[in-house]
Amino acid sequence: MRAILCIALLSLTACTNGGVMTPSGGGTQAQTIDVNLTLNPSSQTPAGTAGGYSPAVINVAVGTMLRFVNSDGFAHTATLIPGATTFPAGSPYSATAQTQSGSALSQTWSTGNLAPGASSQTLLVDRAGTYLYGCFYHYGGPMRAEIVAR
Ligand SMILES: [Cu+2]
């Protein structure tokens, strides 16, 4: 009985160390996208002009988790533009973007209003593909970016 407990504890320790050392491994550690219209400059991407999020294009592995953190001094959202391969010229959003929804990248999702300093829900990277998203308030800023899941 005592030996079994000891082995269990050793396994837990090994798991924790592995999770910290491996950027995309483990599954519990979410990758973070910084949300900041003030500090993240606009840049050109294959989908059009991005800005307000860092990185502007993030590469993630299927099976990992993503989270948005607002480091700006005012509110933003990060909201999927369903089915888009280039950024639409005008805002694609309705007021529903202001309410948090979704937990999987390939389905409809929005962080809702992210107050200064706030973190979003985690999104499971459930399916390979290119996902464009932006901010309900500052889409034309431009405030939009891209997630590439493989
Ligand atoms: Cu914004």
- Calculate the CA 107 to chain-centre distance: 13
pLDDT at 63: 97
The residue ranking higher by pLDDT, 64 or 20, is 64
Threshold 0.85, pTM exceeds = no
> Is residue 89 included in any domain, yes or no?
yes
Give distance in angstroms: CA of 70 to centre of ligand 1: 9
Tokens of 115: 């107050």
**Averaged over 135-144, what is the pLDDT?**
98
Distance of CA 80 from the midpoint of ligand 1 (Å) = 13
pLDDT given at position 28:
61
CA pair distance 138, 143, nearest whole angstrom: 6
Task: Count the Cβ atoms, other than its own, within 10 Å of residue 22.
Answer: 10
Ligand 1: centre distance to CA 72 (Å): 9
* Residue 134 within any structural domain of the chain: yes
The domain that holds 133 is classified in CATH as 2.60.40.420
What separation in Å is there between the alpha carbon of 50 and the centre of ligand 1? 12
Is 17 inside any structural domain? Answer: no
Burial code (b: 16+ CB inside 10 Å, e: under 16) for 111-150 equals: bbbbeeebebbebbbeeeeebbbbbbbbbeebbbbbbebe
Number of domains making up the chain = 1
Report the C-alpha gap between 138 and 135 in whole angstroms: 5
Q: Has residue 4 been placed in a domain?
A: no
CA distance 59 to 57: 7
Show the domain range for 52.
25-149
| Domain assignment present for 145 | yes
For the segment 49-95, what is each residue's pLDDT rounded down to a tens digit?
Answer: 999 999 999 999 999 999 999 999 999 999 999 999 999 999 999 99
Q: Does a structural domain hold residue 79?
A: yes
pLDDT tens for 91-116 read 999 999 999 999 999 999 999 999 99
Kindly report, residue by residue over 24-55, the tens digit of the pLDDT: 444 468 999 999 999 999 999 999 999 999 99
Residue 5 lies in a domain: no
Q: Examine the pLDDT at 141 and tell me if it is beyond 90.
A: yes
**Residue 19 within any structural domain of the chain:** no
Q: Is residue 52 classed exposed, middle or buried when 0-12, 13-18 and 19+ CB atoms within 10 A define those classes?
A: buried
